[in-house]
Structure 1
Amino acid sequence: MPASDFGSTPLGQLARSRNGEPAFLNAHHLEAAGRLLTLFERSRLRARTTMNYGPRVDSGHGGHAQDMGDMAFDARRQLAELYTAIPRDCVEVVIDVCGYEKGLQDIERERGWPRRSAKLVLRIGLDALATRFGLTAAATGATRTSTRNWLGVGARPAEFG
């Protein structure tokens, strides 16, 4: 995900280079943050801020697992796996910044951390998250691949001549 997709969020600011210096966050950090954001949105953990005027589809037990959609349930399961795979402080900061869009200063104040410490914990968390998703700072693999088609090499349907 490019830095421009995060705009003026803390991630977008940390991904921009200033005065010729390299950016604090790299492309694989932003890609990992983007994947986590997608997962977070699918999980429907963010509180709604507007009224839903659509028809009510639940059975009156809002919030129970049996009323939750399969996609949201699976996303919550994947988030729970991240909590066990990544150090707790790191994953909490990453979710606060990416999911809840909290500022780094707010996180530091809430936790009683020294200034600029959340920035480092965020980077460590995004590194661990990128590793978990199989992302690295450098692209690896073959520089070129052979052309493939859906019918196999050289095969062409008879109706197309």
Structure 2
Amino acid sequence: MPAIEQLDDAVLSRLAASREADGPAFLAPHHVAAANRLAKLVERSRLGPRITMSYDATRIGRNGGNGVGETSDSAADARQRLNRIAAALPADCWGVVFDVCGLGKGLQLIETERRWPRRSAKLVLRIGLEQLAGVLGLSAGAEGPEVVRQTGWLEERLPLIAEQEH
């Protein structure tokens, strides 16, 4: 099972661990991998909230714009990829997945903010991670052709040392 790379993310680590020694976990390994990819993408896009105040004049943004001109190419590319992913997922699923994986919110806080019943965000998160894994091309099992014939670019192996004629 892929490790959860965000050490402070108690929600995903709790849901990815099985309650019983031999029982299945609530989140499958491909769900965890999809969550990790989304977390890295959000981090690269620089959409996460800042924890501390920066008094740097270049970061304050006195020009009144949305900051797109100042973002790096990789951050802009990450934001475009996030937009494509958000368009491919159902709105409620995207909101919960982004809140948990991107912003680090807890499930109880999400349920309170949206006035959902208890434990409903957990199910929506799993459905959203399944959809996200499908968008990212991840699945529960490895898939591929049944038989793959191995071929090389040479019909036969050439000798390492050429024989010299006497």
TM-score tier after normalising by the smaller chain length:
0.7 to 0.9
User: Structure 1 stretches (4+) deviating beyond 4 angstroms?
Assistant: 51-60, 142-148, 152-155
Aligned residues: 152
Aligned ranges for residues 32-71 of structure 1 at < 5 Å?
32-52=34-54, 56=58, 60-61=62-63, 63-71=66-74
Q: Does 1:27 align with 2:29?
A: yes
* 1:12-68 deviation per Cα after TM superposition (whole angstroms, max 9, x unaligned): 100001123210001100110011011100110112213457784898537421111
Contact 2:45–2:77, Cα closer than 8 Å, also in 1: yes
Matched with 1:76 is 79
Structure 1: stretches of 5+ with no match in the other structure: 156-161
Match of 1:102 in 2: 105
Match of 1:87 among 73, 78, 90: 90
Match of 1:159 in 2: none
TM-score normalised to the size of structure 1?
A: 0.80
Instruction: Note the residue ranges of structure 2 that are not aligned, 5 or more in a row.
Output: 159-166
Amino acid at match of 1:75: A
**1:94, distance to aligned residue in structure 2 (A):** 0.2
Within 2, Cα distance between the matches of 1:65 and 1:145? 49
Q: Does the CA contact (< 8 Å) of 1:3 and 1:15 recur in 2?
A: no
2:117 aligned counterpart, secondary structure: coil
Secondary structure of 2:137's match? coil
Q: TM-score, normalised by structure 2?
A: 0.78
1:158 maps to what in 2?
Answer: none
Q: Distance in 2 between matches of 1:21 and 1:48?
A: 39
Whole-Å Cα distance in 2 between the matches of residues 86 and 57 of structure 1?
Answer: 32
SS for the counterpart of 2:69 is: helix
Counterpart-to-counterpart distance in 1, 2:151 and 2:12: 37
Counterpart of 2:5 in structure 1 is 5
- CA distance in 1 between counterparts of 2:119 and 2:16 reads 16
Aligned equivalents of 2:32, 2:82: Cα separation in 1: 18
Task: State which structure, 1 or 2, has the greater radius of gyration over its C-alpha atoms.
Answer: 2
Measured in 1, the distance between the counterparts of 2:149 and 2:82 equals 34
